[in-house]
């Protein structure tokens, strides 16, 4: 038993190769999506037909098609294969980038962004990750992918401003198309092909469970939170680059040098709060406090539009809070979701995230056109107040872990008895038996459980 546990605690070379490859695909794709964020509202006047509303729509358009196709593409990957769906999604992403690169009108850019978003591969990539990693390594795998997304986002904001100065918006879109093709090469030349493709109840949505998830108030608080977080991200980055240039007087070619140190400091500032939230079980106050900070930053940006110092301090606080929430929300979703609904809850969560980006870009453009940058930030502050009202009733989540056990002798006849035995182990909170997969999904309190007793159950007669 000890030898087995030691081997299961470390990743195999195949798992490491899988995770680095899939994380790289995610990173290149997110890099392409977000490089225009800090520059587009400033530079989009070059397109014919540009209005603030249409510029905002171009910023957020990818989120609409991402939201629409995220769950269907994940389900399609069960039927025709993960790699086929991911390849098709990256080709759509590349095609959308080319359309945006050759665009001479804002309407054509919007079409390109919609096409970019239609390559919704996140669910398929996550499912392939699950296919290629053992159950006990899945948390590490998802953490690795999450880190790659966070780093690519920070790099995108800093590099986007620099690249726009050197190669223009068209060049950024061409680079984005190249990133998609690099992702396809990584997928087929580096990422292994799974020996078998199975359903993962903890990763994939089940349509029949949508109603249950939508009726769960704790889960819906997290879904609403990720939607509002990305809504505020896109509204803020419609108005913020314009304020930096027009109000605070920071030349466009210096924006990258302003963003980079702020993002690095925000990443450093985030770490102690994540430790406090997870290690010291202070998730609820850290979460609510981060939302308060985001609301206060909106007020700061509205009041100090002419101050580079005020804008950059606000940016540091915003990204510190944003990073805390972006890292905490998936963990909270995992803790709050019942085992049988976990994959469905994560699918709805991902859809809401992209829907928030679409609403935020469109709303940012409309608000800027009607009320200017100050109006965008005041609206952001009001939206944050609504967000706070919605999440204040949330309970402090219990610190729980999940383990997937292979049950060799599981059958329909003894499934209920095995569930009772597992639930009888001290520290076990919830068990879900899946007979056709020959596994049990067990949620437990780490401090209370005897892991040896839990793992040994897999080998019980």
Which pLDDT tens digit goes with each residue over 294-337? 999 999 999 999 999 999 999 999 999 999 998 888 878 877 88
Residue 20 burial (10 A CB sphere; 0-12, 13-18, 19+): middle
Same domain (yes/no): 87, 124: yes
Which of 174, 29, 28 lies closest to 103 in space, CA to CA?
A: 174
Same domain (yes/no): 226, 271: yes
Q: Structure tokens of 248? A: 């605070």
Residues 407, 294: contact at Cβ < 8 Å?
no
Say if 166 falls within a structural domain: yes
Of 154, 178, 204, the one marking the end of a domain is: 204
Which H or E run contains 440?
A: strand 439-444
Radius of gyration in angstroms for the set of CA atoms belonging to the chain, rounded to a whole number? 23
Same domain (yes/no): 355, 368: yes
Q: Taking the model in full, what pTM does it have?
A: 0.88
Same domain (yes/no): 314, 362: yes
> CA 354, CA 117: separation in Å to the nearest integer?
9
Say if 2 falls within a structural domain: no
Q: Please tell me the total number of residues recorded for the chain in this structure.
A: 461
> CA 284, CA 328: separation in Å to the nearest integer?
10
Say if 89 falls within a structural domain: yes
Say if 443 falls within a structural domain: yes
Residues 377, 238: contact at Cβ < 8 Å?
no
Domain that holds residue 420: 403-459
Residue with tokens 């490089």: 35
Same domain (yes/no): 146, 255: no
Which CATH number covers residue 211? Answer: 1.20.1250.20
Tell me how many domains the chain contains: 3
> CA 300, CA 265: separation in Å to the nearest integer?
19
> DSSP letter string over 317-345?
HHHHHHHHHHHHHHHHHHHHS-GGGHHHH
Same domain (yes/no): 28, 152: yes
Say if 5 falls within a structural domain: no
pLDDT band at 415 (very low <50, low <70, confident <90, very high): confident
Say if 4 falls within a structural domain: no
Residue with tokens 């919605």: 390
pLDDT at 80 over 60: yes
Same domain (yes/no): 143, 168: yes
Say if 291 falls within a structural domain: yes
Say if 252 falls within a structural domain: yes
**pLDDT one-digit tens code per residue, 142-176:** 778 877 887 888 889 889 988 998 999 999 999 99
């Amino acid at each position: 038993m000890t030898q087995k546990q030691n081997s299961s605690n470390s990743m195999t070379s195949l798992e490491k190769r899988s995770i680095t490859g899939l994380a790289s695909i995610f990173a290149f794709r997110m890099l392409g999506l977000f490089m225009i964020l800090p520059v587009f509202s400033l530079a989009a006047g070059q397109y014919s037909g540009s209005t603030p509303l249409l510029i905002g729509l171009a910023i957020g358009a990818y989120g609409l098609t991402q939201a629409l196709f995220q769950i269907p593409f994940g389900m399609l990957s069960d039927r025709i294969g993960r790699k086929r769906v991911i390849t098709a999604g990256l080709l759509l992403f590349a095609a959308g980038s080319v359309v945006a690169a050759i665009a001479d009108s804002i309407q054509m850019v919007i079409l390109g962004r919609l096409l970019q978003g239609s390559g919704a591969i996140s669910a398929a990539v996550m499912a392939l990750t699950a296919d290629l990693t053992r159950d006990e390594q899945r948390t590490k795998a998802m953490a690795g992918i999450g880190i790659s997304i966070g780093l690519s986002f920070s790099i995108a904001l800093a590099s986007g401003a620099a690249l726009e100065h050197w190669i223009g918006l068209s060049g950024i879109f061409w680079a984005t198309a190249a990133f998609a093709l690099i992702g396809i090469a990584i997928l087929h030349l580096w990422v292994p092909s799974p020996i078998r493709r199975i359903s993962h109840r903890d990763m994939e949505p089940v349509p029949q469970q949508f109603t249950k998830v939508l009726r769960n108030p704790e889960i819906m608080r997290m879904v609403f939170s990720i939607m509002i977080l990305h809504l505020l991200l896109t509204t803020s980055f419609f108005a913020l680059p314009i304020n930096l240039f027009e109000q605070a007087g920071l030349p466009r070619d210096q924006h990258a040098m302003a963003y980079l140190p702020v993002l690095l400091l925000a990443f450093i500032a985030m770490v102690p709060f994540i430790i406090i939230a997870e290690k010291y079980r202070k998730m609820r106050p850290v979460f609510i406090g981060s939302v308060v900070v985001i609301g206060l930053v909106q007020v700061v940006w509205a009041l100090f539009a002419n101050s580079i110092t005020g804008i950059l301090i606000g940016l540091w606080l915003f990204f510190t809070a944003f990073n805390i929430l972006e890292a905490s929300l998936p963990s909270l979703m995992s803790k709050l979701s019942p085992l049988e609904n976990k994959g469905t809850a994560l699918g709805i969560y991902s859809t809401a995230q992209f829907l928030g980006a679409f609403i935020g870009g469109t709303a940012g453009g409309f608000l800027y056109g009607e009320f200017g940058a100050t109006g965008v930030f005041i609206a952001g502050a009001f939206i944050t107040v609504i967000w706070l009202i919605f999440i204040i009733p949330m309970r402090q989540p219990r610190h729980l872990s999940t383990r997937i056990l292979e049950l060799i002798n599981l059958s329909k006849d003894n499934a209920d008895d095995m569930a009772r035995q597992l639930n009888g182990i001290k520290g076990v909170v919830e068990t879900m038996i899946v007979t056709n997969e020959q596994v049990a999904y067990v949620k437990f309190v780490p401090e209370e459980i005897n892991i040896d007793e839990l793992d040994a159950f897999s080998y019980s007669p």
